[in-house]
């Protein structure tokens, strides 16, 4: 019997990796998407399908989802986790970094949502979980471009939530504060202090996903207790 599956983007590390491990442990079939094949080698078994793609490559994304639907059945959820965080002063930051972040954090997220929504609307069921950031709710130094992408995630998520709610489809926004992730090694500005663990975010994602379909936890913002901003 085909029971459906959950798509997890950016599944090769940090939040995505922890989320993939948790969903598999809870018995869900998963489609894991990442640009880095070597980082997905640890995932194997009948519950797992993998696709080495860039989330901005829409034809490749559509093909991966279609193959998973053929194997597992309907898509039950997607965790739009793939993203880039490249911090820097607006006056000196390389504009190529802006483009990279907007391509992945915004266009990639839109691709993920659009790729699964027709099926979810037809099923009258499904959950989209978009990983945003506290930086999508307030501003921080050296976050101009990155923060802009995350403000976009909040706006997109809420707008789509309103549009698909009549079809019994849920859209959830998860907004972490400071978190231990390899993204901190990709920044061109001052590195963030490390705090939240990826497993904590994965647990939060699963909590929202596991609620009855009639309940939509629209947004969760979480941060270390001692994080003031």
Contact 133, 196 (CB under 8 A): no
Catalytic residue among 146, 183, 206, 209: 146
* CA distance readout (Å), 31 to 34, 111, 217: 10, 15, 23
* CA distance readout (Å), 217 to 128, 135, 171, 172, 180: 11, 20, 8, 6, 24
* CA distance readout (Å), 131 to 8, 42, 91, 227: 11, 23, 28, 19
Nearest to 174 by CA among 147, 194, 200, 141: 200
Q: What is the dihedral of CA 26, 32, 38, 44, to 10 degrees?
A: 40
CB burial of residue 185 (10 Å; 0-12, 13-18, 19+): exposed
DSSP 165: G
102 labelled catalytic: no
Taking the alpha carbons at both ends of the chain, their separation in whole angstroms is 48
Q: Roughly what angle, to the nearest 10 degrees, separates helices 144-164 and 109-123? A: 10
The whole-angstrom separation of Cα 106 and Cα 136 is: 12
Which of the residues are catalytic? 146
């Amino acid at each position: 019997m085909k029971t459906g599956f959950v798509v997890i983007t950016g599944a090769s590390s940090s939040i995505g990796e922890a989320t993939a491990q948790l969903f598999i442990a809870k018995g869900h079939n998963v489609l894991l998407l990442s640009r880095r094949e070597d980082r997905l080698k640890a995932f194997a078994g009948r519950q797992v399908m993998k696709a080495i793609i860039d989330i901005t490559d829409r034809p490749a994304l559509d093909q991966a989802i279609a193959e998973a639907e053929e194997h597992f059945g309907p898509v039950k959820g997607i965790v739009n986790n793939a993203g880039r965080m490249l911090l820097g002063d607006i006056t000196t930051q390389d504009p190529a970094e802006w483009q990279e972040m907007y391509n992945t954090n915004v266009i990639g997220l839109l691709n993920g949502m659009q790729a699964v929504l027709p099926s979810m609307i037809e099923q009258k069921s499904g959950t989209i979980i978009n990983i945003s950031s506290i930086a999508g709710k307030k501003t921080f130094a050296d976050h101009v471009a990155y923060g802009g992408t995350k403000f976009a995630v909040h706006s997109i998520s809420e707008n789509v939530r309103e549009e698909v709610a009549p079809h019994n489809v849920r859209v959830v926004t998860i907004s972490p504060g400071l978190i231990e992730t390899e993204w901190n090694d990709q920044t061109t500005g001052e590195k963030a202090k490390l705090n939240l663990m990826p497993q904590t975010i994965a647990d939060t994602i699963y909590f929202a996903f596991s609620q009855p379909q009639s309940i939509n936890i629209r947004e969760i913002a979480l941060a270390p207790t001692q994080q003031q901003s």
